[in-house]
Amino acid sequence: MKRFCIWVTIFCVFLSAHELSAQTFTGTVTDQDNLTLPGVSVFVKGTTIGTVTDFEGLYSIQILPGDVTGDSLTLVFSSIGFTTREFNFPVDPGATITHNVMLLEEIAMLDEFVVVGYGVQKASDVTGAISTIKMDEITNQPITRIDQALQGKAAGVQVSQTTGEPGSSVKVRIRGIGTINNNDPLYIIDGVPTKDIDGILNPDDIESMTVLKDAASAAIYGSRAGNGVVIITTKKGQAGKKRFSYDFFGGIQTHGHITPMCNTGEYLKIYNEAALTDGRDPIPDDIRSQLSNTDWLNEIFRTAIMQSHQVSVSGGNENSTYIFGGGYMKQEGIILNSDFERINFKTSLTSKLADWVKVGTNLNMTYSVRDIIGASGDGYGGNGGSVIRYAFFRTPPVPVYEENGDYSDLPNFDGYSQAKLNTWFGDGYNPVGLANKFDWKAKTYRVFGNIFAEFNIVDGLVFKSDLGVDLTVIDEKRFNENWGTDGRINSPNSLVVSSSTGFVYNWTNTLNYTRTFNEQHHTTFLLGTEAIQGSFHWQSGTDRDFPDQSPSMRYLGNGLTTSKGAYELASGWSLLSAFFRANYNYANRYLIEGVIRYDGSSRFSKNNRWGGFYSGSVGWNLHNEKFLSDVKWLSQLKLRASIGQTGNQEIPLNNYISVLGDEYNYPFGGYLNYGYAVETLGNENTTWETTTTYDIGLDMAFFNDRLFVTTDYYWRYTDDMLIPVPLPPSGGSASPPFLNAGKVLNRGWEFEVVWREVAGDFRYEIGGNFATLYNEVLSLSNGRPIAAGRIDNGVFATLTEEGHPVGSFFMYEMEGIFQNEMDIFTHAYQGPQIEPGDVKFKDQNGDNVIDEQDRVHVGSAIPKLTYGVTANLSWKNFDLSFFFQGVYGNSIYMQVNQDIEGFYRGFNVTQRYYDNHWTGEGSTDEYPRASWIGAANNKKASTRFLEPGSYFRLKNLTLGYTFDLKKAGAGRLRVYFSAQNVFTITNYPGLDPEMYESNNLRGENVKNADLAAGIDWGTYPIPRIYTIGINLDL
Amino acid sequence: MRQSKYLYLSILLLVFFGLNGCKKFLDEDLEGKKSDLQFYQTADDAELALTGVYNVLSFANADNRIWVFGDVASDDATKGGIPGDQADIGLIDDFVVSTDNGNLETVWAIYYEGVSRANKLLDQIDGIDMDTERRSQIKGEAKFLRAYFYYWLTNIFGDIPVHTTTPTPEEMQKAATPVSEVYTDVIQADLMDAATLLPAEQTNLNIGRATEGAAWAFLSKSYLFQKKWAEAEAAAEEVITSGLYDLENLYRNNFEAATKDNIETVFAVQHLSGQAPWLGNRLNQWFAPRAENGYGFNVPTQSFVDEFEQTADSVYDPRLDYTVGREGHIWFDSVMFDPEWSPTGYMQKKYLQPLSEVPKELKADGELNYIFIRYAEVLLIMAEALNEQGRSPEAKTFLNLVRTRARNSYLYDENLPGYGTIPDGLLPDVTSGGQSEVRNAIRHERRVELGFEFHRYFDIIRYGPDYAYNAFQDKENFNYEEYKHFPIPQSELDTNHEL
């Protein structure tokens, strides 16, 4: 304030009288292609004097003698995306100096700052394993969630959509699956931590994403960092640069590969073949004239529209910066009646209250609506079942609509009993009717942001206090309409309305001190505390027996039932922490860093709630050593090594006490009596899961920063894994208590490489990242394995067991097809009803009987290799980019094939089964005979339905052209065409190999996604999207 | 300015470092739920916990599958339903039973959960400050229920692990106890305690709770399985002489909503429609034809229908049409039975209500109870116990009480053709025959009187291999030693290493 007053006084006094003695700088700022650059900030270092280049790239700046002290001054030229340049001039009042400047696009990584926990670090000082995602590569992709942006962009980060349904969740796994509990990373968005990023931001609002992969980088986040940390920084305004931008894309989406299914003629043929085999009534010929020939898969898909608009305004000066903007996005689903729509606003402001106090805020608000349909599973999880699954198995003779225009339900043909028709043509739901009758909407309102103040106490010592909030309100409404033959579906109709409020606040205080001693000893210290408290509240009402099902009557209270439901849940959790980090760097050659964090968590009993985490890491910048200074082709060579511990506390709240449930009611004398029973058993001895990571890495740059290579090898051990140890059911059905009783190893090799080249008008950059993963459960609660991924009553597809990966597929191994009676006779005894043409299972234990003991581990949903390749090319104003992404070495259990190739009910069958099934000795060793009797054996969970999940996908292809509008007095306009999910190379026979857990998980006892990943009940596929878009910058 | 800077900062830093002082910050209480440490304190808690034990009995839970073992596995019934649907039930019907059969898993889990809830209540009840008389009754009810759960478990699975207190996770590793000991040490011990603790009658708002008579009746039933005939007689005698039970005039009153919990009911699993969550009988949907929004499971076999006596004029034992829907007869309301509904051409009616009472869309929320023991069975137990002790003439008296009621249907049921006169030669009294003939007559009578009440399979097994092989002539996979009991489910074998 004082300084400002003096400045004003001086300015006023000297303004007119001393104009002649002002020193003037003018010039043009251009980029390396000699294109003029508007909006470049030009200011005098150490002062508030500054300007911005105009549309022609011209600047002019006047400096009065009192403005600067000393006899030299420094002009600073900066612009986003360009390397900032500084020039020194002698103070020379009255002189006019013309100084043209060329700014180079920022390509060099070396001196970039990297975002790390609670701060930034010079890239050359980093000793942990960190991947940074460049957001400008993401903008071409029509993605709607920020976690999608991570896919294929960072080595060791596996990203998979759970389904292709618009707005559905995404699984992010950093360096494998460390636990049977929550494996989601911790996200830090502008300093505010959250485990849940559903509907939190528009990807366009992100400036950068940094993935902290090893303990050295993540340990500062302690008990929540066991699964890695993703730090997200949103866009901010730039001093001296006003900017308006509008981004739009719009396009169409279609489905990709479709599994060929039988038509009516083929269906009748194979049905009657089986009827002959099993001695059942065939479908009579005279019914044929009444039959339709419906292609059900084709009926449920549509060409869908997608559009997105995003506007933002930003700018600022030396004292304040601002950005605000908003966006609208709508994505129709490629399956009927599924949609996602979002509106978002963003504001970030910073302001200097004094030269030593800076305050600011970031505020993000989003509103999103999902129109949901069943996208995975068979309904066991409560979603009504996947529409795809019904489309797969609905038989083609049944029409979509009845003659009266209603959706057909049970097969309805004249002259045959319903029971016969059901047996012949099945009784599954009509998928078109099912999709269109889904009335299920989830609206999410999210407010996320922080306010902070930063105090520069003395030179190098900064105190920062940051208060963050995260509010999530979800309104969900689902009406189960009664329909179908004789109203058999959703009988009675019912309505569920629920509303949940989640609120988390955090208060983080840090003290940061940086000092260099004797020019060689660089030190940084960080000391901090953090308090986080979360609360959750959910309420729900149910009603049923609606006499009027019209949409306007689907509200609570309109049902006739007297027993309406009202439910409420509430919970809270808190975390209190202190942390410390010290960095020491000797002459930019030897780097060492240590971290300690001490956390207290409400999730554990009083005796076990405090825990400590640490890490230590070292780095050696060999390129700064004298002996390498002559090696011109080597611009960087850094060796890193780290060790550390992080934690995971994501297990159910209050797990340390046994909890009673209500609604265990019973009637006496014709009246309801309420009952309670113990639902979950507690264990007061539980404490954190601890993950210990060892990492060695190498960062290299060659040929004058043309080639960058980063590679890491890591071992990640999770100890004290919290396991709900399965107890014998004879002890009761209450959920078992958690025990710290397991150990998991993930290890792998990560490799990131980038080649950049500029040759005249032609520039290109090709980068790739590859990561291997080995996952193994080392020990598990006294060896007791965990079965998960229920596929039938008491039948599970996976078994998590010592010596195998988490969620490993466990089942019979198909050996072939019994070709003749002798084959059956000589093979291990498989059951009384086995006939030639049935599936032969391998007798794993050699006891000559095929039984449960012959099930073995046959594969895993965890890819052995994940990779991404990005290429960006530009020539003059054209740009072209490719982005490939893929996984290798995983398996998918294709449960839906049990229905459509298992041949056990009136379901349609695949073309490949129809063409290739066993019809006699020697016909095939792969697909068994068509027989319902045989199906009891043939459809058993076995490798028959296990398929390779590897894929290689051209995720994105974009061609753009940039118009330079500077001559027209504007900025620039880029127009592009982009195609997403262009093609996929895979041996997976289903619709899409990209999936994660199915909705069924919600209904299961073991609710961990990673224990039941890769089970395909007929999953909503990811769409192919063609868009055109514009980026307008003014 | 500079001075105030340090003042502000000092305050901030104090707050900053003072943060760790608030210890309460990490205390988060349970909301809307109780922990077991806060429970089992008051009389209300005891009642809530007891109701929680009764809750396990209910057929509102579709996984309560004792009927699969009692009926479908027997010669009375076959799976029904759509081919392929609920294939696990078909595998039990065909005696192709592996340890991962879902019906084994669910029955095992549900009935042991019942045991667990009863144990927990019995462990805690003495610590609750409450009326001592009600406390004894609650103990009696809990013991009765525990006996009920173990009865089904041991009948279905044979030798099983037994817990009579709440086990720790370590104690859950438990070896199997032989069937005979399950009967003597658990079922009969509990029932004898229950008989002394329980009141003679439960009326009004307590209807449905276990009574002393129920305990005696159950005890007598349990002795049959051990061939302890004198004990069975004595226990049945307690029920008969209590004077609190009698046969209904009309057999079908036992299976109609309006007349449930009648004087013949000794112990019945209670159901009530229209509650949230449902407490109705789901069997009303599981056993009903698909045409009525049912699933059509558990359908009668020809063998079962043939068991019913008919007169020379082809008038059937009226219990046939009370139990079974068949061609040419009214199903419910005025709807004719359609044999296409069932693969055997028959469906059973004992748990089904007409659509006029429970509409299609509420099909799974039926009102009918499952009667575990009714007085007619007590009479037949008495007859069997006496006959096996060589007192066949006395046995006939009790047997004939049951037959008389059946034939007297013609005197009480206006819907029967020729109402008012008992057709000639219908269900004559058993008057002749020695022990062996009377034994056969009692076995026959149990089959028709108690058909589809989930007892048949266990009766067949208890009668021994000769009877069983005869009954299962058409089941090539049946082997008495193998299927005397069903295998313990895989999930138990996987987790209980003492088995």
- Judged by CB atoms closer than 8 Å, whether chains meet at A730 and B108 is answered as yes
Q: Both ends of chain A: CA-CA distance in Å?
A: 34
CA A949/CA A987 separation, integer angstroms: 7
Confidence category of residue A134, pLDDT binned at 50, 70, 90? confident
Contact A881, A140 (CB under 8 A): yes
B195 φ/ψ angles, rounded to the nearest 5 degrees: -60, -35
What is the rounded average pLDDT of the residues B441-449?
98
**In chain A, which residues have their Cβ closer than 8 Å to the Cβ of B12?**
455, 463, 465, 509
Cα A820 to chain centroid distance, Å, stands at 50
Please state which of the ranges A44-53, A203-212, B281-290 shows the lowest mean pLDDT. A44-53
pLDDT at B18: 55
pLDDT digits (tens, 9 = 90+) for A387-415: 999 999 999 999 999 999 999 999 999 99
Confidence category of residue A20, pLDDT binned at 50, 70, 90? low
pLDDT at A727: 87
Position A15 pLDDT exceeds 50: no
Residue reference for tokens 């991962």 = B100
CA B136/CA B142 separation, integer angstroms: 10
**Closest residue of chain B to A546, computed from CA coordinates:** B361
pLDDT at A654: 82
Angle at B384 between CA B383 and CA B390, to 5 degrees: 95
- Judging by DSSP bridges, how do beta strands A590-601 and A565-586 pair with one another? antiparallel
**Closest residue of chain B to A2, computed from CA coordinates:** B1
Say how many C-beta atoms besides its own lie within 10 A of residue A1002's C-beta.
13
Confidence category of residue A109, pLDDT binned at 50, 70, 90? very low
pLDDT digits (tens, 9 = 90+) for B427-438: 999 998 899 999
pLDDT digits (tens, 9 = 90+) for A695-739: 999 999 998 889 999 999 999 999 999 887 788 999 998 888 888
pLDDT digits (tens, 9 = 90+) for B318-367: 999 999 999 999 999 999 999 999 999 999 999 999 999 999 889 999 99
pLDDT digits (tens, 9 = 90+) for B272-299: 999 988 999 999 999 999 989 999 999 9
Under DSSP, is residue B47 helix (H, G, I), strand (E, B) or coil?
Answer: helix
Q: What is the CATH number of the domain that holds B151?
A: 1.25.40.390
Please state which of the ranges A102-111, A375-384, A1021-1030, B259-268 shows the lowest mean pLDDT. A102-111
Taking alpha carbons only, the member of A315, A372, A349, A213 closest to residue A693 is A213
**In chain A, which residues have their Cβ closer than 8 Å to the Cβ of B476?**
832
pLDDT at A198: 85
| B109 → closest Cβ in A729, A851, A936 | A729
Taking alpha carbons only, the member of A779, A705, A713, A711 closest to residue A744 is A779
B62 φ/ψ angles, rounded to the nearest 5 degrees: -65, -15
Confidence category of residue B125, pLDDT binned at 50, 70, 90? very high
What is the rounded average pLDDT of the residues B454-472?
97
CA B437/CA A265 separation, integer angstroms: 60
CA A684/CA A681 separation, integer angstroms: 10
Position B66 pLDDT exceeds 90: yes
Three-state secondary structure readout of A861-912: CCCCEEEEEEEEEEECCEEEEEEEEEEECCEEECHHHHHHCCCCCCCCCEHH
**In chain A, which residues have their Cβ closer than 8 Å to the Cβ of B100?**
794-795, 852
Query: Does A423 contact chain B (CB < 8 Å)?
Result: yes
- Judged by CB atoms closer than 8 Å, whether chains meet at A677 and B49 is answered as yes
**In chain B, which residues have their Cβ closer than 8 Å to the Cβ of A422?**
82, 290
Structure-model confidence comparison of residues A316 and B461, the more confident one = B461
Q: Which residues of A747-779 are buried (b: 16+ CB within 10 A; e: fewer)?
A: bbbbbbbbbbebeeeebbbebbbbbbbebbbee
- Judged by CB atoms closer than 8 Å, whether chains meet at A731 and B490 is answered as no
Helices and strands in chain B: count of H runs, count of E runs: 21, 9
- Judged by CB atoms closer than 8 Å, whether chains meet at A531 and B25 is answered as yes
B323 φ/ψ angles, rounded to the nearest 5 degrees: -100, -35
Taking alpha carbons only, the member of B353, B310, B315, B314 closest to residue B331 is B353
DSSP state of B330: B
CA B167/CA B182 separation, integer angstroms: 17
Sequence letter at residue A72: S
What is the rounded average pLDDT of the residues B445-470?
97
Q: What percent of chain A has pLDDT over 70?
A: 96
Contact A742, A688 (CB under 8 A): no
Size of interface A-B (CB pairs under 8 A): 298
Contact B484, B155 (CB under 8 A): no
Assign domain A116-236 to a CATH class. mainly beta
- Judged by CB atoms closer than 8 Å, whether chains meet at A675 and B51 is answered as yes
Contact A354, B1 (CB under 8 A): yes
Contact A706, A635 (CB under 8 A): no
Position B464 pLDDT exceeds 50: yes
- Judged by CB atoms closer than 8 Å, whether chains meet at B48 and A675 is answered as yes
Confidence category of residue B126, pLDDT binned at 50, 70, 90? very high
CA A63/CA A90 separation, integer angstroms: 12
Which of the residue ranges A375-384, A627-636, A708-717 has the most confident prediction, judged by mean pLDDT? Answer: A708-717
**In chain A, which residues have their Cβ closer than 8 Å to the Cβ of B120?**
678
| A730 → closest Cβ in B12, B172, B203 | B172
What is the rounded average pLDDT of the residues B66-84?
93
pLDDT at A144: 87
Contact B364, B292 (CB under 8 A): no
pLDDT digits (tens, 9 = 90+) for B403-427: 999 999 999 999 999 899 999 999 9
CA A806/CA A777 separation, integer angstroms: 6
Its ipTM equals 0.95
The residues in A 548-587 lying below 8 A from B, measured between CB atoms, are 561-565, 568-576, 578
- Judging by DSSP bridges, how do beta strands A186-189 and A229-234 pair with one another? parallel
**In chain B, which residues have their Cβ closer than 8 Å to the Cβ of A465?**
12, 16
Tokens found for residue B329: 């007869």
**In chain A, which residues have their Cβ closer than 8 Å to the Cβ of B489?**
729, 794
Which distant-in-sequence residues (6+ apart) come within 8 Å of A400 by Cβ? A292, A294, A299, A407, A408, A430, A432
Asked whether residue B70 is assigned to any structural domain, the reply reads yes
B157 φ/ψ angles, rounded to the nearest 5 degrees: -105, -10
Cα B346 to chain centroid distance, Å, stands at 23
Range of the domain at B159: 40-198
- Judged by CB atoms closer than 8 Å, whether chains meet at B489 and A673 is answered as no
Position A364 pLDDT exceeds 70: yes
Please state which of the ranges A102-111, A692-701, A902-911, B308-317 shows the lowest mean pLDDT. A102-111
Tokens found for residue A532: 């986080």
Interface test with A, best of B28, B65, B101, B182 (most A CBs within 10 A): B28
Taking alpha carbons only, the member of B168, B31, B23, B27 closest to residue A604 is B27
pLDDT at A70: 78
Tokens found for residue A524: 């940084």
Which of the residue ranges A202-216, A326-340, A648-662, A731-745 has the most confident prediction, judged by mean pLDDT? Answer: A326-340
pLDDT at A1: 41
| B16 → closest Cβ in A509, A572, A932 | A509
CA A788/CA A724 separation, integer angstroms: 13
- Judged by CB atoms closer than 8 Å, whether chains meet at A668 and B209 is answered as yes
What is the rounded average pLDDT of the residues B99-119?
95
Query: Does A427 contact chain B (CB < 8 Å)?
Result: yes
Position B21 pLDDT exceeds 80: no
Asked whether residue B131 is assigned to any structural domain, the reply reads yes
pLDDT digits (tens, 9 = 90+) for A962-971: 998 877 667 8
Contact B63, A800 (CB under 8 A): no
Distance (Å) from the C-alpha of residue A204 to the closest C-alpha of chain B? 35
Which distant-in-sequence residues (6+ apart) come within 8 Å of A287 by Cβ? A413, A415, A416
Asked whether residue B434 is assigned to any structural domain, the reply reads no
Contact A376, A386 (CB under 8 A): yes
Distance (Å) from the C-alpha of residue A598 to the closest C-alpha of chain B? 11
Give A23's strand partners: A63
Residue reference for tokens 């190999």 = A993
- Judged by CB atoms closer than 8 Å, whether chains meet at B84 and A420 is answered as no
**Closest residue of chain A to B23, computed from CA coordinates:** A576
Distances (CA, A) of A699 to A113, A640, A669: 15, 8, 77
Contact A259, A392 (CB under 8 A): yes
Output the average pLDDT for chain A. Answer: 90
- Judged by CB atoms closer than 8 Å, whether chains meet at B85 and A673 is answered as no
Which of the residue ranges A110-119, A648-657, A925-934, B19-28 has the most confident prediction, judged by mean pLDDT? Answer: A925-934
- Judged by CB atoms closer than 8 Å, whether chains meet at A935 and B361 is answered as no
Position A500 pLDDT exceeds 60: yes
Residue reference for tokens 């960087």 = A636
pLDDT at A1008: 86
**Closest residue of chain A to B6, computed from CA coordinates:** A457
Contact A291, A264 (CB under 8 A): yes
Give A357's strand partners: A354, A455
A87 φ/ψ angles, rounded to the nearest 5 degrees: -130, 135
**Closest residue of chain A to B150, computed from CA coordinates:** A730
Q: Where are the beta strands (DSSP E) in A545-589?
A: 565-586
Give DSSP secondary structure letters for B266-307: EEEE--BSS-SS-BSBTHHHHTS-GGGT---EEEEPHHHHHT
Give A567's strand partners: A540
Q: What percent of chain A has pLDDT over 90?
A: 68
Superfamily of structural domain A2-103:
Immunoglobulins (2.60.40.10)
**In chain B, which residues have their Cβ closer than 8 Å to the Cβ of A661?**
33
- Judged by CB atoms closer than 8 Å, whether chains meet at B274 and A562 is answered as yes
Q: How many domains does chain B have?
A: 1
pLDDT at B164: 97
Tokens found for residue B467: 């009877």
Interface test with B, best of A461, A495, A609, A730 (most B CBs within 10 A): A730
Position A916 pLDDT exceeds 60: yes
Asked whether residue B314 is assigned to any structural domain, the reply reads no
User: In chain A, what are the domain boundaries?
Assistant: 2-103, 116-236
Say what the pTM is: 0.79
* Sheet with strand A786-792: strands edge to edge: A786-792, A795-800, A808-811, A856-859
CA B81/CA B303 separation, integer angstroms: 19
CA B54/CA B60 separation, integer angstroms: 12
Give DSSP secondary structure letters for B349-417: -TT---TTTS-GGGTT-B---EEEEEHHHHHHHHHHHHHHTT-HHHHHHHHHHHHHHHHTHHHH-TTST
Taking alpha carbons only, the member of A612, A689, A619, A605 closest to residue A649 is A689
Confidence category of residue A582, pLDDT binned at 50, 70, 90? very high
Contact A858, A810 (CB under 8 A): yes
- Judging by DSSP bridges, how do beta strands B370-374 and A170-174 pair with one another? unpaired
Sequence letter at residue A621: N
Query: Does A450 contact chain B (CB < 8 Å)?
Result: no
Peptide bond into A492 cis (omega under 30): yes
Distance (Å) from the C-alpha of residue A744 to the closest C-alpha of chain B? 21
Confidence category of residue A321, pLDDT binned at 50, 70, 90? very high
Position B442 pLDDT exceeds 80: yes
Position A7 pLDDT exceeds 60: no
Structure-model confidence comparison of residues A758 and A583, the more confident one = A583
